[in-house]
Amino acid sequence: MLQSIGKDIRLFSLPEIDEAHEMANGVPREIFEESTIKLEHEDTTLSDSLNAEQRAAYDEILSAINSDEGDVFFVDGPGGIRKTFPYKALLAMIRGQEKITVPTSMSGVAAFIIPGGRTAHSCFKIPLSVDDGAFCSFTKQSGAAKLLQTVSLIIWDEASTIKRQAMEALDNGMRDIMNRLELSFGGKTVVFGGDFRQVLPVVRKGSRA
């Protein structure tokens, strides 16, 4: 927990860690937890059941992951068409290659559906109040930063409900920790998903009606 916020246990009056019970062997907790997520066998065969559109997106995302500059995607579709299906196929493929993935969502319920999913705010340390030019509240030495430096794929579901400043905070933070200021999200592959059909239009200064 201390490492995840860039601190060292030796700075505090705490007992020494008993190495006999330490399984991570110096690996940051966030990376250790992600790398030990159990890969379900049925998920490894999902890619064989993708339809033509899902297959095209799947192949293009994998191609971006294997490139050095990554890319940013948005998976759009009405509610109920099983957008999590290609997510699970991608996660199984990447985890099967022993690479790191970070699946997140805005809500805990949606995050629970994705294997190893977490809420975006807890994973990316997004401030509760974000303004233009904001950064995520992790340091380069924190466990969260080390996780994002090694990640091959970030999935952010329910992105249509997010303030743009939250996405920009992650973009700013990723460019900083990767030292690649010219590339979106520091050159990592990011897949957003959502359905703008479920988002009410905003009428400035409009009445409830």
Q: Are 169 and 130 a contacting pair, CB within 8 Å?
A: yes
Q: Tell me whether residue 161 is in a domain.
A: yes
Say yes or no to pLDDT of 164 above 70.
yes
What is the tens place of the pLDDT at every residue in 169-194?
999 999 999 999 999 999 999 999 98
Residue-range definition of the domain harbouring residue 69: 24-197
Look at residue 206 and tell me if it is in a domain: no
Task: Kindly state whether residue 203 falls inside one of the protein's structural domains.
Answer: no
Please indicate, yes or no, if residue 207 is contained in any of the structural domains. Answer: no
Q: How many CB atoms lie within 10 A of CB 180?
A: 17
Interaxial angle between packed helices 164-178 and 143-150, expressed in degrees from 0 to 180 and rounded to the nearest 10:
80
Residue 130 and residue 128: Cα distance in Å, rounded? Answer: 6
Q: Dihedrals φ, ψ of 185, to 5°?
A: 55, 35
Q: For residue range 84-118, list pLDDT tens digits in order.
A: 888 999 999 999 999 999 999 988 776 778 888 88
In a domain, 86, yes or no: yes
DSSP helix/strand/coil, 167: helix
Is residue 20 pLDDT above 70, yes or no?
no
Query: Does 82 map to a domain?
Result: yes
Mean pLDDT, range 55-76, rounded to an integer: 91
Indicate the residue type of 23: M
Phi, psi angle pair for 16, to nearest 5° = -65, 150
Residue 148 · residue 177 · CB < 8 Å: yes
d(CA 35, CA 45): 20
Q: Is the pLDDT of residue 155 over 90?
A: yes
Question: What's the domain count of the chain?
Answer: 1
Instruction: Provide the CA 89 distance to its chain's centre, in angstroms.
Output: 16
Using a cut of 0.85, tell me whether the model's pTM lies above it.
no
Residue 134: CATH number of its domain: 3.40.50
Is 102 part of any domain? Answer: yes
Q: Which residue has the higher pLDDT, 12 or 169?
A: 169
